Amino acid sequence: MQNSNKTEVKKTKTSKSKVNLQPVRGTRDYLPEKQIFREQAMEKIKRIFEKYGFVPMQTPALEYASVLGKKYGEEEKLIFKFKFGDEELGLKYDQTVPTARVYAANRQTLGAPFKRYVLDRAWRGERPQAGRLREFLQCDIDTLGTYSLAADAELLACANEALAAIGLTNFTWRISTRALAENFLKSCGVADVKLQAAMRAIDKLDKIGEEGVAKELLEKGIGQAAVDTIFSLLKFKGDFDKIRSTIKIDPSVEDALLKFISYLDEFGVKNYTLDLSIIRGLDYYTGPIFEAKAPGFKGTIAAGGRYNHLIELFSGVEIPATGLTIGLDRILEFLKFESKKTKTALYVVGIGKDVIPLVQKFRAEGIPTDLDLMARGLKKNLDFANKRGIPYVAIVGQEELSKGKIKLKEMSTGKEELLSFEQIVAKLRALPQ
């Protein structure tokens, strides 16, 4: 009996210590310093999106599984789907399919062209061992309702500025069009029925390398000669003249590509290069496609393309559209970040004195102010303010206060001054935000 009790106690302890304190694999907790940085970045990106005329629109995290099943192709297996009661629900895999649903439902109200942005999370059931995030923040811009390739080019100009605003300038857009990719593969000898399979294989070039792609192409029944031609032409990256001299580019395909490029030039986008290996994984792209890569950055910084047939799945009528996504969480990992630990400017400590009404007075003046809630001694409070990164501490003693003064300590220098309430307010208001 005693023995069994002992085991009982042990079990409880074991189960307590076994509580998993880590976030779900592939997701992250954002502690204050990182979250402040993240929110600053989001704020900067939003301002640029708005400067380009995009307006915010947000859709739920939850969607009906039938909506999420639209047009993702192979990626569908990565959708977090579940049954809840009698409903089949899931978490959105990207912002594009929900946007298509909302636009189809509201296009009379929203009009055309409709330029919207969203900063929201998406969820993908990636294998955690691959180091990929399963919950991540996307910054999306989309222009719906126009065939004009100026809309596509504008997306890149806007993303260039948004990325520059958060400190990322050393990157290049690899551009192509879906038609060019098809034209290229056909010229290399890939049969029409095998185009989709070939594109999916080539899309994995960054992930599995030339050898892996070649293997997959052969497995899909594409002949060795075609595979050899594909890789010899992929080496021409960027050099459109060389590509044209080797394979026959359809005039309409060339026109669309050159039109897109001329718009890029008009919008002042210079950091692009033609790349036949750009395919974009999702099946829904129809026109220009683009991916931004940076030296040392594993994966894609931003990517997108034109998807003229996606909204039709919801609306029943063709509605042209083009969009672009910036994968912010991975970029913020890549950038060296320097962030404030807090926005609090002042920490108030009372020496044997309750300071709450004074703290409220500082706050009423708009000064971000915190106070000692633990009735700790002065040294502990100074250490605390220092650790929190609060730049100033107000030390409030009965004697000074009776003279209308408060001692203000600047934490970075240790300098102390006897100042009035108004003087402290004026000083802290003048601090850089």
Instruction: Tell which positions 268-327 bind its own copies, by CB under 8 A.
Output: 268, 313-314, 316
CA distances from 125 to 80, 110, 122, 134, 135 (A): 6, 33, 10, 6, 9
CA distances from 308 to 289, 313, 317, 368 (A): 12, 10, 10, 49
Nearer to its own copies by C-beta: 116 or 407?
A: 116
Nearer to its own copies by C-beta: 63 or 140?
A: 63
Q: How many Cβ atoms from other residues are within 10 Å of residue 173's Cβ?
A: 23
Confirm or reject binding of residue 341 to its own copies (CB under 8 A).
Answer: yes
Separation CA 425–CA 403 (nearest Å): 17
Confirm or reject binding of residue 244 to its own copies (CB under 8 A).
Answer: no
Separation CA 77–CA 54 (nearest Å): 32
Encoded tokens for 408? 């203000």
What values do phi and psi take at 168, rounded to 5?
A: -115, 110
- The DSSP output letter for 24 is P
What does the buried/exposed string (b/e) look like for 214-231 if buried means 16 or more CB atoms within 10 Å of the residue's CB? bebbeeeebeeebbebbb
Please identify which residue in 105, 258, 426, 431 interacts with its own copies, judged by CB under 8 A.
Answer: 105
Please name which of 79, 268, 38 lies closest in space to residue 166, comparing C-alpha atoms: 38
Separation CA 160–CA 62 (nearest Å): 31
Please identify which residue in 387, 402, 412, 432 interacts with its own copies, judged by CB under 8 A.
Answer: 387
Confirm or reject binding of residue 64 to its own copies (CB under 8 A).
Answer: yes
Nearer to its own copies by C-beta: 114 or 240?
A: 114
Nearer to its own copies by C-beta: 150 or 351?
A: 150
Near its own copies by CB under 8 A, which window of 1-9, 64-72, 189-197, 247-255?
A: 64-72
Confirm or reject binding of residue 216 to its own copies (CB under 8 A).
Answer: no
**DSSP H or E stretch at residue 383:** helix 378-388
What values do phi and psi take at 246, rounded to 5?
A: -100, -45
Nearer to its own copies by C-beta: 235 or 380?
A: 380
Nearer to its own copies by C-beta: 160 or 325?
A: 160
Near its own copies by CB under 8 A, which window of 226-234, 285-293, 361-369, 407-415?
A: 361-369
Q: Determine the size of the site formed for its own copies (CB under 8 A).
A: 99
Q: How far is the CB of 66 from its own copies (least distance, A)?
A: 7
Q: How far is the CB of 224 from its own copies (least distance, A)?
A: 37
Binding to its own copies by CB under 8 A, coded x per residue (else -) over 119-158, reads --x-x-x--------xx-------x--x-x-xx--x--x-
Please identify which residue in 194, 200, 309, 363 interacts with its own copies, judged by CB under 8 A.
Answer: 363
Footprint of its own copies on 73-92 (CB under 8 A): 80-85, 87, 89, 91
Residue 57 φ/ψ region, left for φ over 0, alpha for ψ in the -120 to 50 degree band, beta for the rest: beta
Antiparallel, parallel or unpaired: β 392-396 and 346-350 = parallel
Confirm or reject binding of residue 165 to its own copies (CB under 8 A).
Answer: no
Confirm or reject binding of residue 102 to its own copies (CB under 8 A).
Answer: yes
Binding to its own copies by CB under 8 A, coded x per residue (else -) over 15-54, reads -xx-xxxxxxx-xxxxxx--xx-xx----------xxxx-
CB 29 within 8 A of CB 20: no
Nearer to its own copies by C-beta: 135 or 283?
A: 135
Nearer to its own copies by C-beta: 4 or 20?
A: 20
Nearer to its own copies by C-beta: 12 or 224?
A: 12
Confirm or reject binding of residue 373 to its own copies (CB under 8 A).
Answer: yes
The alpha carbon dihedral of 379, 32, 340, 422 has a sign of negative
Nearer to its own copies by C-beta: 215 or 363?
A: 363
Antiparallel, parallel or unpaired: β 114-123 and 406-410 = unpaired
Q: How far is the CB of 316 from its own copies (least distance, A)?
A: 5
